[in-house]
C-alpha cells in the first residue's frame, strides 16, 4: 500500500449554508459552502423557500398554473359520453318521427294532387 496518496481528513470541517446555519462534519475539505441545509429545505420545513438563481422554480410554477387552467376548462370523458348518447337519442327520435309522419306532400307526384 502506498503512503501519502489519500487526501487529508478534517474531522471538524465547518459546513456553512446560504441561510446562515453552520455545523461541523468530517470531510476532506476544511470548509464547505452549501445552498440548502436541513433547516431551510422545504422537505424538512414544510415551507416553500428556495434559493433560485435561474428562475427554474418560478417557470415551473407558471407552467403548472397554466396547465391547471387548461385542465379546468376541459371536459372529462364522462361528460363527452353523456353528450354523445343524448345526440344519438335525438337522432333516433328524429328518424322515428320521419318514418311515422310521411313528408308533407308525400305522394309520388311530388305534391301536385288534384
Sheet holding 31-34, edge to edge: 22-27, 10-17, 31-34
Binding-site annotation: residue ranges for Zn(2+): 17, 19, 37, 40
10-99 CATH fold:
Rhinovirus 14, subunit 4 (4.10.80)
CB 18 within 8 A of CB 34: yes
pLDDT in tens, 62-100: 999 998 888 777 777 888 888 889 999 999 999 888 888
CB 68 within 8 A of CB 62: no
pLDDT in tens, 18-61: 889 999 999 999 999 999 888 888 777 777 655 666 778 888 88
C-alpha distance from residue 33 to each of 17, 23, 28 (Å)? 6, 11, 13
Distance separating alpha carbons of residues 27 and 29, to the nearest angstrom:
5
Binding-site annotation: residue ranges: 17, 19, 37, 40
C-alpha cell belonging to residue 37: 441545509
Distance separating alpha carbons of residues 91 and 56, to the nearest angstrom:
52
Amino acid at each position: 500500500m502506498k503512503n501519502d496518496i489519500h487526501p487529508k481528513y478534517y474531522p471538524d470541517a465547518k459546513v456553512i449554508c446560504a441561510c446562515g446555519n453552520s455545523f461541523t462534519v468530517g470531510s476532506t475539505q476544511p470548509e464547505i459552502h452549501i445552498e440548502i441545509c436541513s433547516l431551510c429545505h422545504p422537505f424538512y420545513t414544510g415551507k416553500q423557500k428556495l434559493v433560485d438563481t435561474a428562475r427554474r422554480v418560478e417557470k415551473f410554477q407558471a407552467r403548472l398554473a397554466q396547465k391547471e387552467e387548461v385542465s379546468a376548462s376541459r371536459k372529462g370523458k364522462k361528460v363527452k359520453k353523456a353528450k354523445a348518447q343524448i345526440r344519438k337519442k335525438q337522432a333516433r327520435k328524429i328518424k322515428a318521427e320521419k318514418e311515422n309522419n310521411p313528408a308533407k306532400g308525400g305522394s309520388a307526384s311530388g305534391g301536385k294532387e288534384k
